[in-house]
Amino acid sequence: MAEAQRSERAGFARQLLAVGRFTERRMEQMSGEHDFWCVDDWEAVAAEIGAELGISRGRASSQMRYGTALLKRFPKLGEVFVAGEVDFRVIAAAIFRTDLIIDRAALAKIDTELARKAPSWNKLSREKVTELVDWMVLDLDPEAVRAARQRDLDRHIDVEPGQNGMAEIWGSVRAPDAAAFDTKLNELAATVCPDDPRTKTQRRADALTPLAAGAATMPCTCGSQGCSATPAEPSTSQIVINVLAEAATVEGTSDRPGYLPGYGALPAERVTELAKHAKLRPVPIPKDLLAEPHYRPSAATARFIRCRDLTCRWPGCDQPAAVSDIDHTVPYPVGPTHASNNKLYCRIHHLFKTFYAGPAGWTEKQQADGAVIWTSPTGRTYTSQPLGALFFPQLALPTGPLILATGPPPGPNRELAMPTRKRTRARDRAYRVQWERDLNRARFAADPPPF
């Protein structure tokens, strides 16, 4: 077990350092002319790493930051990491808590201390590791302690998929908002009649639907004709969720589950129940989809593409269909508007395809079953399969082969269409680091040590 643990640590350390070296090499090769682009050179490198490792651009970017930090800021800590002596969670905590240090001498001293002490911290909690690193930072560069962010800035609400058609909601919000939310759930839970079979806890959970719809009451489930509860108001909410299911499941004659994008499987009985009050939209049969004469796909073709793909089609990206664009693989009008020539890209990867693909960059090819094959400038290939077809194989039936010509060359001055940043990524980071240091300086001036 111990040997396997060391191997796991060392393996991930080698991966991070390889990512860091690759990032430095690629960034040196690029001229910096894209620094103000929304999809800058850093994003381009993240797309390449994400495709190779099969991870999202967020995870790729995170590994790039850790890898370059170990190479540039903590080379000695990187040595004990690659020797398998330190857990990554210790490395991650150390890098984050020292992110505000800008003095090279202070960094070198902390690097030496971390390399010596971190191997004994593996058994400690993240909180304890944070305290120990902060103690080092406070001793060498008090303005770099990450204490500037107040709890109010960290407020959040998170929703994560659970199991068996359930989800989990948690967060940290301002106390008055929490009190108002708590009171509103109680009010809605009290609008049913005394014979409603649900407990108060269950009614509070079910109250989320009328709360999101802006309703003043929630439906009673007593089933009595003489129910004394005020009838629930028809929903006027513009919020839409999409559930994908087979027709037999919707009709209640099949036990096959439905699929709620981002949350997973829904039991068949829940799908049948939802279908009684939902707007049903049939998904076209692949063989019935024909090439269309317009740039924008018809509603039926767009529905098929979104249900087939479910997420962005860049390898490793999982941005949902709701925030993704329908993109022509071979640009229109050379390539027709057809399910075999269209797929989903999130906005970042759509821009990446538009501005970084071409004869000297990335190339893509789409198959009749929706698979997309990307070839990098170095000749490496990556295949992206449509997610919806993994749950419902009938969505992967070939839509019919198309004869596609080579896409037209990029037009002149196309870089003018790229959204830009107000500050480069490097300047934005320097600004945020200085902002937190200034807040620390002001805090120390108001309450100088010892605290």
Residue 220 in domain: no
| Residue 131 lies inside a defined structural domain of this protein | yes
Cβ(310)–Cβ(388) under 8 Å?
Answer: yes
Q: Among 146, 170, 193, identify where a domain stops.
A: 146
Q: Which residues lie below 8 Å from residue 316, measured CB to CB, with a gap of 6+?
A: 50, 51, 53, 54, 55, 56, 57, 59, 60
Query: What's the domain count of the chain?
Result: 2
Instruction: Pick the last residue of a domain from 408, 429, 446.
Output: 408
DSSP 41: H
pLDDT value of residue 233: 65
Please give the average pLDDT of every successive group of 10 residues along the chain, which has 451 residues.
Answer: 96 98 93 86 93 93 97 97 97 95 94 96 93 92 76 76 84 84 90 90 90 86 85 65 91 92 87 88 87 92 94 92 92 89 94 84 90 91 93 87 63 72 90 89 76 53
Beta strand 381-384 pairing with 372-375: antiparallel
Q: Is residue 15 part of a domain?
A: yes
- 265 in any annotated domain: no
The predicted pLDDT at position 412 comes to: 60
Residue 156 within any structural domain of the chain: no
Q: Is residue 365 part of a domain?
A: yes
Domain containing 327 equals: 294-408
Nearest to 161, CA basis, from 274, 266, 310, 264 = 264
Whether 289 is in a domain gets the answer no
Surface-to-core class of residue 331, CB atoms within 10 Å of its CB (0-12 exposed, 13-18 middle, 19+ buried): middle
Tokens of 392: 């419902």
Residue 123 in domain: yes
- Whether cis (ω within 30° of 0) applies to the bond prior to 333 is yes
pLDDT value of residue 261: 87
State the DSSP string of 265-327: EE-HHHHHHHHTTSPP-PPPPGGG---BSSSSPPHHHHHHHHHHH-B--STT---BGGGEEEE
Q: In angstroms, rounded to a whole number, what is the distance separating the alpha carbons of residues 367 and 400?
A: 9
DSSP states along 144-179: GSS--S-GGGG-EEEEEE-STT-EEEEEE--HHHHH
Contact 20, 70 (CB under 8 A): yes
Q: Which residues contact 418 (CB under 8 A, 6 or more apart)?
A: 37, 38, 39, 351, 355
Question: Which helix (H) or strand (E) covers residue 326, if one does?
Answer: strand 324-328
Q: How far apart are CA 393 and CA 272, in angstroms?
A: 21
* DSSP structure class, residue 244: B
User: Residue 436 and residue 429: Cα distance in Å, rounded?
Assistant: 11
Orientation of helix 41-53 relative to helix 347-356, angle to 10°:
100
pLDDT at residue 378, rounded to an integer: 86
Dist CA 89 CA 372 (whole Å): 35
- 8 Å CB contact between 26 and 41: yes
- Between CA 78 and CA 85 the distance in angstroms is 10
Residue indicated by tokens 């249900």: 307
**What is the Cα–Cα distance from 129 to 123, expressed in whole angstroms?**
10
Closest alpha carbon to 98 in 135, 153, 149:
135
Which residue, of 128, 146, 164, is where some domain finishes? Answer: 146
DSSP one-letter string for 401-446:
----PPPPPPPTTGGGGS-B-SS-HHHHHHHHHHHHHHHHHHHHHH
Q: For residue 262, what is the DSSP state?
A: T
From the list 129, 8, 15, 10, the residue with the least C-alpha distance to 81 is 10
Pairing outcome for strands 258-260 and 264-266: antiparallel
pTM of the complete model beyond 0.85: no
